[in-house]
Amino acid sequence: AGGGPAGLSDLKSALLLALADTERGLRTDGERRRKIEQLARALEAKNPTRAPLKSPLMNGRWALQYTTALEVLGKNRPGFLRPKGAIWQTVDIFTLQVKNEESFEPLPFVKFKNATTSDLDAQTESRAGVRPKDWRVAGVKFDAPPDSPSRMARNMEMKASGAGSLAWMDTTFVDGEMRISRSQSGDLFILVRDDPNDD
């Protein structure tokens, strides 16, 4: 694929095709994972948005299509405790907040949604530290506990050393349709725009 919009379109189509029937990453073998990684890196190399955290393209709701962070998908949980339906991430760069939502169906006709809201702390033009603010479990809100003195000291030490905070999200590709992010653990996240008015 070449450069420009046509080249990006071809790469995105190839990536989405490679993601098909992987159940967001739960069903992949080594060869498929390598192909997905290769296509993701090709898109990252052509990222048209050089300062994602300053771009309105980041704003809105995104649906997770694939991740190597299998705990997000509930890999080691019983089937009825795995997320059903879409897993969304809503980003607001103006308030520097991100909201993750997932729906569950533990029993027939029993559905509920969990959500977490986190504050973002911009570290570079593409990377933001992520600090949990609150959780909502089946509609019940819980505030995140305050940091312990040892956690605060560790965060300060990491920031002073240039290592950043304990958790961060680095947006390595974003345009009007797709976003690719990587975490501090090296996990890959591929999302597509899914704003409510697009439903």
pLDDT digits (tens, 9 = 90+) for 68-112: 999 888 787 766 667 778 899 999 999 999 999 988 776 677 676
- Burial zone of 58 (CB within 10 Å; 0-12 exposed, 13-18 middle, 19+ buried): buried
Q: State residue 36 phi and psi, 5-degree precision.
A: -65, -45
Q: For residue 159, give both structure tokens.
A: 């920031």
Q: Structure pTM?
A: 0.80
Looking at 32-41, 115-124, 156-165, which range is the least confident one? 156-165
Strand pairing partners for 118? 98, 132
pLDDT digits (tens, 9 = 90+) for 9-19: 999 999 999 99
How far, CA to CA in Å, does 48 sit from each of 5, 55, 185?
Answer: 9, 11, 25
The residue-averaged pLDDT of 134-161 equals: 52
DSSP 147: P
Q: State residue 17 phi and psi, 5-degree precision.
A: -65, -40
Q: CB of 44 within 8 A of CB of 172?
A: yes
